[in-house]
Amino acid sequence: MVIVNSNFTAKNFQAVMPSIPKEKLRVIYPPCDVDSLSVVSRPISRKHREQNERYLFLSMNRFWPEKRLDIILDAAVQLKSFGLNPLIQMAGSVMPHIPESRIYYELLMEQCKKYKLEDMIEVRFIPDPNDERKFELYSQCDSVIYTPPNEHFGIVPIEALEQRRPVIVIDSGGPSETVIEGVTGTKIANTDGIKLAEAMAEHMECKEWIELDEDAHYVKQRARFEKHFSLNGFGQNIDDAVTKIFGKDMNINNEEEQQILDAHTNGYTSYTSHAKRQKKNKGNSKGKARTNGQDRKNA
């Protein structure tokens, strides 16, 4: 069995390793381990927290060219032309030891100035937030933006689901599987600023995401999160995969193992009994030989 982190990864794996049957692949999504973070409190829906004066979008991602954060600024230009003025926060790690990350971060800030967005749309850059700050940003935002194309999994849409925030993603890779269109978020066809702007405008018009905002309806999405994306769910899925490898019914395996153990035990018992008999016979032979020798001497 080969375990992969998404159906997208499974397809790529099959393309590279066609000799391995599809049936041998098992998709298990990585966990979003919020339970181990003491800074994370119970997620609150947007309707139960203080409302923002301006619609707030949050991009949570590493500052890296392949993440395509530049289309967020392209979308901001379009939103400005629509007469919309949201607040956009772009948070994520900047890796100073990797030039590409630092350079990309600086280019984005320059691009923001070039577009002259400050007179209508405010874009804030938040480098290297710690866990406490990160989840604080999630709780403050109204929607999350995740722009990387062809991500093999993508943890940000899962964090957004756990934090009860709708997310906009590219309709490719892992996010295409984990985001439910119109329920937990929106998928756009490709990395295009205009498409992203249209999706952002729709989010600003949407008053409620029922399965995220309403406690009674969020139960369904929370159960989905716990089953597929939590640490406990991940552990259970791994256990199921291991069980499948060694047999569908572990009781059968236990019976087989007991039979093998009994066979070994019986075999050992037979061996030791045989060894004892040989030793006894050998001893008798020596005794008999000594007796015969003594008889010959006496004669």
Residue 269 has pLDDT above 60, yes or no: no
Give pLDDT tens digits for 201-219.
999 999 999 999 999 999 9
DSSP 51: P
Q: What are 117-135's pLDDT values in tens digits?
A: 877 789 999 999 998 899 9
- Give the DSSP H or E segment for 283: helix 250-298
Q: Which two three-digit tokens encode residue 177?
A: 């599987």
More confident residue, 96 or 9: 9
Residue with tokens 């392949």: 66
* pTM exceeds 0.75, yes or no: yes
Specify the DSSP class assigned to residue 183: T
Using DSSP's 3-state secondary structure scheme, residue 187 falls into strand
Which residues make beta-bridge pairs with 27? Answer: 4
Q: Give residue-wise pLDDT tens across range 175-199.
A: 999 999 999 999 999 999 999 999 9
Q: How far apart are CA 247 and CA 279, in angstroms?
A: 44
**Ramachandran bin of 33, using left for φ above 0, alpha for ψ from -120 to 50, beta for the remaining angles:** beta
Confidence of residue 226 (pLDDT cuts 50, 70, 90): very high
Q: For the chain, percent helix, then strand, then coil, each to nearest 5?
A: 55, 10, 30
Q: Structure tokens of 188?
A: 């756009």
The pLDDT of residue 289 is 47
- Provide the pLDDT for residue 118: 74
Mean pLDDT across the chain: 86
- pLDDT: is 278 or 206 the higher one? 206
